[in-house]
């Protein structure tokens, strides 16, 4: 029996979880949010909530003895990573056989660590990926609602053209233009007014101090400052942190039972708790939600889940790479960490790629242009439960990653040819590695809308069980995903609250 119960429980406090919590709270439904990470609201001994990227400490990563930054090396020297002591830090890197996945841990999920790029996908590609969703309604109602709640804004173009902090972006834009490629500004949830004050010396630096993957101490409108603040403000939402939901099942009366481990800051389990609820919303992200459901189906605690649970996963075609510019094409010692521009070659039917121009703030001139390419890689993989080890595995292969890097290479070969420039070979650990296609920031799918769920995120086989996060997106969305995840969650909540509420 459940020791503690609530009408509604939300697992996870990223985009999907935060939207669910707010809309439930506003509807007057008492809601409990269970989040495995900590609440990031208290300053450490250095006076800041998050640690810096240049001197990471235990706050940087989720129970590690050494940081695992995406850019492992520079000139093959392991300059970037540092030894740390284990702690529930804000960034996790989950390792599967041939793919590792970066995710945020804490109240706010990925919003605490991400680059803030708030991109709405092309309507035509959205419609291709979600054929059963009314695209007009999405673009007329739910995307605008998501953008306004998230606090999306754009960099002032005049400031962008003049500031040293975006010289790296202008240099990459020029290299793209020389190859006849189009670039486009991308919006962000980082407050650009704040950033201009940072540059003017009137506000404490955050994006201009290298902060991003281990958290921003200022400027960024992460979910704890938007959706989650509003959710708690309804008075109906309670949040439990450092509680990891381990398993799901259903009681005879049709309510859901959850088992959660409460951990302390050493990672030790200090209590195992039982929760009960009538309505269960899963917002643990592509990995968290899919793992819970695959485990529940295959261990028999929710045996009627659809065979499509676990399928349709992809890394959004992510590939990271660096190019070396000519000495006269400087990128600047000063670089803002919030990307504001992408190379948009998605319309190229032979090789669709959207490549964001990424910063590499090292505090000195290094002539490197860094990119995160999002490619239209059609490959998908499945999560499966391995009874021998009791773990959930991801079947993604290196050959599937090679499809992403092959597409990125086609685009950047064009740029290098037009500019007579070369790739950088020293950024990702081994001497020959140009394309980092073995990690992703954008895990998508596993519980795909219309396949493992109905067209609104109601999980097939069970009533009052919902998915609201990135696991609904079928492996690729062509742009950075959180605006899409947020808008789909808004659509699910509007429908569920109108149709499924208790009599
Ligand atoms: P999300 O991962 O945000 O939240 C899931 C939450 O559930 C986490 O807080 C997790 O701890 C918790 N959880 C999981 N399992 C649990 C369990 N069993 N029990 C309790 N809690 C559990 N996107 C974008 O659009 N623009 C960008 O610029 C970037 N940049 C970027 C940089 C980096 C470094 C990363 C890691 C990611 C990005 N992203 C991004 C991706 C974006 O952050 C991501 O798509 C969303 O955070 C996914 O939102 P979800 O709601 O699906 O899960």
Choose the residue to mutate in 104, 116, 282 for probing ligand 1, maximizing ligand atoms within 8 Å of C-beta.
104
Q: Given a cut of 70, is residue 503 above it in pLDDT? A: no
Cβ of 477 closer than 6 Å to ligand 1, yes or no, is no
> Which atom of ligand 1 is nearest to 243's Cα?
20
Q: Given a cut of 60, is residue 55 above it in pLDDT? A: yes
Cβ of 256 closer than 6 Å to ligand 1, yes or no, is no
- Return d(Cα 308, Cα 132) in angstroms, integer: 17
Q: Region 281-293: what's the mean pLDDT?
A: 98
Q: Given a cut of 70, is residue 351 above it in pLDDT? A: yes
Residues 237-249 pLDDT 10s? 999 999 999 999 9
Per-residue confidence at 54, pLDDT binned at 50, 70, 90? confident
Closest CA to 93 of 117, 71, 70, 115: 70
pLDDT reported for residue 2: 63
> Which atom of ligand 1 is nearest to 286's Cα?
52
Cβ of 105 closer than 6 Å to ligand 1, yes or no, is yes
Active site residue 442: yes
Cβ of 295 closer than 6 Å to ligand 1, yes or no, is no
Residues 313 and 380: beta-carbon distance below 8 Å = yes
Cβ of 215 closer than 6 Å to ligand 1, yes or no, is no
* Positive/negative CA dihedral, 60, 64, 65, 67: negative
Residues 5 and 13: beta-carbon distance below 8 Å = no
Nearest CA to ligand 1 atom 47: 110
Q: How far is CA 154 from the centre of its chain?
A: 20
Cβ of 244 closer than 6 Å to ligand 1, yes or no, is yes
**284 alpha carbon to ligand 1 midpoint, in Å?**
8
Per-residue confidence at 77, pLDDT binned at 50, 70, 90? confident
Q: Which residue has the tokens 């695959």?
A: 294
Cβ of 147 closer than 6 Å to ligand 1, yes or no, is no
The rounded percent of the chain whose pLDDT value lies above 70 is: 99
| DSSP helix, strand, coil percent of the chain (3-state; round to 5) | 30, 25, 50
> Which atom of ligand 1 is nearest to 212's Cα?
34
Nearest CA to ligand 1 atom 18: 245
Per-residue confidence at 455, pLDDT binned at 50, 70, 90? very high
**367 alpha carbon to ligand 1 midpoint, in Å?**
31
Cβ of 114 closer than 6 Å to ligand 1, yes or no, is yes
> Which atom of ligand 1 is nearest to 213's Cα?
34
Choose the residue to mutate in 40, 110, 277 for probing ligand 1, maximizing ligand atoms within 8 Å of C-beta.
110
Nearest CA to ligand 1 atom 26: 117
> Which atom of ligand 1 is nearest to 479's Cα?
25
Residues 480-494 pLDDT 10s? 999 999 999 999 999
Nearest CA to ligand 1 atom 39: 114
Residues 283 and 20: beta-carbon distance below 8 Å = yes
Nearest CA to ligand 1 atom 43: 110
- Return d(Cα 218, Cα 221) in angstroms, integer: 9
Q: How far is CA 192 from the centre of its chain?
A: 21
**pLDDT averaged over the chain?**
96
Exposed, middle or buried, 256 (CB in 10 Å: 0-12/13-18/19+)?
Answer: buried
- Cβ–Cβ contacts within 10 Å for residue 76, how many? 13
- Return d(Cα 429, Cα 436) in angstroms, integer: 10
Cβ of 50 closer than 6 Å to ligand 1, yes or no, is no
SS3 114: coil
Q: Given a cut of 60, is residue 284 above it in pLDDT? A: yes
pLDDT reported for residue 502: 63
Which segments of 347-493 are extended strands (E)?
Answer: 353-358, 368-375, 383-386, 391-394, 422-423, 435-436, 439-440, 465-467
Find residue 34's DSSP bridge partners. 11, 240
Residues 387-398 pLDDT 10s? 999 999 999 999
- Return d(Cα 223, Cα 235) in angstroms, integer: 17
> Which atom of ligand 1 is nearest to 103's Cα?
36
* Positive/negative CA dihedral, 438, 443, 448, 449: negative
Phi-psi region of 90 (alpha: psi -120 to 50; beta: other; left: phi over 0): alpha
- Cβ–Cβ contacts within 10 Å for residue 197, how many? 17
Residues 170-224 pLDDT 10s? 999 999 999 999 999 999 999 999 999 999 999 999 999 999 999 999 999 999 9
Per-residue confidence at 78, pLDDT binned at 50, 70, 90? confident
Cβ of 481 closer than 6 Å to ligand 1, yes or no, is yes
Residue-by-residue DSSP string for 308-374: TTT--BB-TTEEEEEEEPPTTS---S---SS--EEEEETT-TTS-EEEEEE----SS---EEEEEEE
Residues 318-350 pLDDT 10s? 999 999 999 999 999 999 999 999 999 999 999
Closest CA to 314 of 266, 220, 375, 380: 380
Per-residue confidence at 431, pLDDT binned at 50, 70, 90? low
pLDDT reported for residue 161: 98
Cβ of 32 closer than 6 Å to ligand 1, yes or no, is no
Per-residue confidence at 430, pLDDT binned at 50, 70, 90? confident
Residues 130-157 pLDDT 10s? 999 999 999 999 999 999 999 999 999 9
- Return d(Cα 10, Cα 489) in angstroms, integer: 13
What is the model's pTM? 0.98
The rounded percent of the chain whose pLDDT value lies above 90 is: 93
Q: Of the listed 68, 211, 291, 356, which one is catalytic?
A: 356
């Amino acid at each position: 029996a459940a020791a503690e119960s609530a009408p509604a429980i939300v697992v996870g406090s990223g985009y999907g979880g935060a939207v669910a919590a707010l809309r439930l709270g506003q509807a007057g439904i008492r809601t409990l949010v269970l989040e495995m990470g900590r609440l990031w609201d208290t300053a450490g001994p250095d006076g800041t909530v998050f640690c810096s990227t240049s001197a990471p400490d235990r706050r940087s990563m989720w129970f590690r003895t050494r940081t695992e930054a995406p850019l492992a090396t520079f000139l093959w020297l392991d300059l970037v990573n540092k030894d740390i002591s284990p702690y529930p830090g804000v960034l996790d890197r989950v390792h599967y056989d041939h793919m590792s996945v970066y995710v945020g841990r804490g109240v706010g999920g990925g919003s605490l660590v991400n680059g803030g790029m708030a991109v709405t996908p092309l309507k035509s590609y959205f419609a291709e990926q979600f054929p059963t969703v009314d695209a007009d309604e999405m673009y007329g109602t739910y995307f605008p609602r998501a953008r306004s709640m998230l606090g999306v804004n754009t960099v002032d173009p005049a400031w962008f053209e003049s500031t040293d902090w975006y010289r790296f972006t202008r240099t990459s834009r020029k290299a793209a233009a020389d190859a006849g490629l189009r670039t486009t500004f991308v919006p962000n949830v980082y407050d650009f007014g704040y950033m201009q004050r940072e540059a003017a010396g009137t506000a404490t630096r955050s994006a201009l101090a290298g902060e991003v993957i281990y958290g921003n101490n200022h400027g960024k409108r992460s979910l704890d400052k938007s959706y989650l603040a509003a959710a708690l403000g309804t008075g109906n939402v309670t949040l439990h942190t450092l509680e990891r939901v381990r398993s799901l099942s259903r009681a005879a009366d049709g309510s859901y039972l959850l088992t959660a481990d409460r951990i302390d800051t050493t990672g030790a389990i200090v209590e195992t708790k039982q929760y009960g609820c009538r309505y269960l919303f899963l917002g643990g992200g592509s990995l968290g939600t899919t793992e819970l459901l695959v485990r529940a189906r295959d261990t028999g605690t929710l045996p009627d889940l659809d065979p499509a649970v676990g399928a349709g996963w992809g890394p959004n075609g992510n590939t990271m790479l660096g190019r070396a510019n000519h000495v006269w094409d400087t990128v600047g010692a000063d670089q803002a960490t919030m990307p504001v521009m992408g190379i948009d070659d998605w319309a190229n039917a032979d090789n669709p790629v959207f490549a964001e121009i990424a910063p590499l703030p090292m505090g000195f001139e290094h002539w490197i242009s860094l990119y995160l390419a999002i490619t239209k890689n059609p490959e998908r993989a499945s999560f499966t439960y391995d009874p021998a080890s009791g773990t959930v595995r991801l079947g993604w292969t290196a050959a599937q990653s090679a499809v992403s890097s092959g597409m990125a290479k086609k685009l950047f070969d064009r740029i290098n040819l037009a500019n007579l420039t070369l790739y950088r070979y020293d950024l990702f650990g081994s001497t020959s590695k140009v394309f980092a296609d073995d990690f992703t920031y954008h895990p998508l799918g596993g519980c795909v809308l219309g396949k493992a769920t109905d067209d609104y995120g109601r999980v097939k086989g069970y009533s009052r069980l919902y998915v609201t996060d990135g696991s609904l997106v079928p492996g690729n969305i062509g742009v950075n995903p959180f605006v899409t995840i947020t808008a789909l969650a808004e659509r699910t909540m509007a429908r569920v609250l109108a149709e499924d509420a208790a009599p």
